[in-house]
Amino acid sequence: MSEKSISMCEGKGSLSHNNREFTARNIDSSRTPNNIVFVQQALSDAYHQLFDEAVEKYNARQKRNDRKIHNYFEHLFNRLPSKSVITGTNKQKSFYEHLVYIGTRKDTGVGTPDAEITTECLREYMEGFQQRNPNLYVFNAVLHLDESTPHLHINYIPVGHFARGLEVRNAKNKALEEMGFGNDAKANDLWRRSEWDVLKNICNAHDIEISEPKKSRGYSYTVEEYGEYHDRINALNAEIERLTAERDEAVAEFEKVSKKKVKLTEIDSVETGKTVFGGKVTVSQEDWDNVSDLAKKEVASQKQTRKLRKERDEAVQERDKLKTQLAAVSSELSEYKKKEENKRYFSREKQNAEAQRIKREEQLSRDLQKARAFITACGLSDDFARYKYNKTRSTELE
């Protein structure tokens, strides 16, 4: 068995993808039943299980209701749980994904004997993951066998413990510190290297030799990206081969046509002789056949040239026609947009005017009710009932 590599990186964190709630292009759905599901718990249930008790204790100590935590997940991320990773304001994530695979599609492709052995190694690695990492609560873990290479998606919530405030929290740095990897920037790398060593030992026990990890240049491909990357390379190589074949075919055709091209200078090389009958010349049958053949080819060449020029002129005319139509359509579209904008503008003007009118009528109605109440309070209801408004002498009562 050839030497293989181990790849570990942080995955994108899509539970819908991991649990096959949809089928991507790189998935062979006929092999999806072969996937191995280790654990599959709803994210919301995992949060309740991990943090509700600590939240209850925390709330019991609070004297002010505005300091109490009603839902820990919403408290952190201001929204309900999602099937994809949510990143909070402090770069804290709703959950994390540990992505693991052995070898590449070239040496451990699904269906090969090596893939069966690496699948067993990944299974053994996963079965000991939770025990090795007590502060990384695994709520979803799947071993995919329906893509090009067997690989693991391990989704976990980091759990840290604190003496003050909320005693149990989603805190990766604290979780790594409690597991003995320190609390600095290197903690995550130390943890991942420790996990790499575990998987390497498992592989060695199965007679798989593992090469040392290469230094990263700052980016690791996920399995999906890795597969798409190679698919793209293969597609480009196929395209290069196709274009090369077309080029070679075109070159061959060009050379073939070039050989048939009429060389008028060859006609000048034909030996001729004068006859006794006027100014006529005589040529050999072979030369005459050559000249005749050259003439026919010249005629055919000229016809082909005229045909190509005609097609070119027609294409240019069609292009200009389409450009004119496009300009007309663009102008019409611009006018339409302008009319629509004006229509919306005038609609807003009408709406504003109508709103002002309704506002004035409501104010007049309130003033009338107020006036009637005042008249009644002053005992002038009967006088108001007998009052007639004189338009010519509006200041007098009738």
The three state secondary structure string of the chain is CCCECEEEEECCCEHHHHCCCCCCCCCCHHHHHHCEEEEECCHHHHHHHHHHHHHHHHHHCCCCHHHCCCCHHHHHHCCCCCCECCECCCCCECCEEEEEEECCHHHHCCCCHHHHHHHHHHHHHHHCHHHHCCCEEEEEEEEECCCCCCEEEEEEEEEEECCCCCCEEECHHHHHHHCCCCCCCCHHHHHHHHHHHHHHHHHHHCCCCECCCCCCCCCCCCHHHHHHHHHHHHHHHHHHHHHHHHHHHHHHHHHHHHHHCCCHHHHHCCCCEECCCCCCEECCHHHHHHHHHHHHHHHHHHHHHHHHHHHHHHHHHHHHHHHHHHHHHHHHHHHHHHHHHHHHHHHHHHHHHHHHHHHHHHHHHHHHHHHHHHHHHCCCHHHHHHCCCCCCCCCCCC
| Predicted confidence band of residue 198 (pLDDT cuts 50, 70, 90) | very high
The reported pLDDT for the residue numbered 329 is 75
- Report how far apart, in Å, the C-alpha atoms of 98 and of each of 153, 252, 295 are: 6, 54, 77
pLDDT score of 324: 81
Over the stretch 11-26, which tens digit does the pLDDT of each residue have? 888 999 999 988 888 8
Strand 273-274 to 168-170 pairing = unpaired
Question: Who has greater pLDDT, 49 or 210?
Answer: 49
Residue 215 vs residue 209, higher pLDDT:
209
In angstroms, the Cα distances linking 106 to 47, 92, 103 are 40, 37, 8
Identify the weakest region by mean pLDDT among 30-44, 54-68, 114-128, 209-223. 209-223
What is this structure's pTM? 0.56
pLDDT at 327 over 60: yes
Whether residue 74 is predicted with pLDDT greater than 90 in this model: the reply is: yes
pLDDT band of 347, cuts 50, 70, 90 = confident
Confidence of residue 219 (pLDDT cuts 50, 70, 90): very low
Weakest-pLDDT range from 50-54, 155-159, 303-307, 355-359: 303-307
| Residue 305 pLDDT | 75
| pLDDT score at 224 | 47
Q: Taking residues 290-298, report their average pLDDT.
A: 72
What integer is the mean pLDDT of 220-242?
Answer: 49
Q: Give pLDDT, residue 359.
A: 87
- According to the model, what pLDDT value does residue 216 have? 45
The percentage of residues in the chain with a pLDDT greater than 90, rounded to a whole number, is 41
What span, in angstroms and rounded, lies between the C-alpha atoms of 281 and 292?
15
pLDDT band at 220 (very low <50, low <70, confident <90, very high): very low
Which is more confidently placed, 134 or 279? 134
User: Between 254 and 178, where is the model more confident?
Assistant: 178
Q: So what's the pLDDT on residue 57?
A: 95
- Mean pLDDT is lowest, of 54-58, 133-137, 141-145, 392-396, for 392-396
Q: What is the CA radius of gyration of the chain?
A: 43
- For residue 319, pLDDT over 90 is answered with no
- If you average pLDDT over residues 136-156, what whole number do you get? 96
The CA-atom distances, in angstroms, between 223 and each of 34, 152, 379 are 18, 9, 89
Residue 223 has a pLDDT of 46
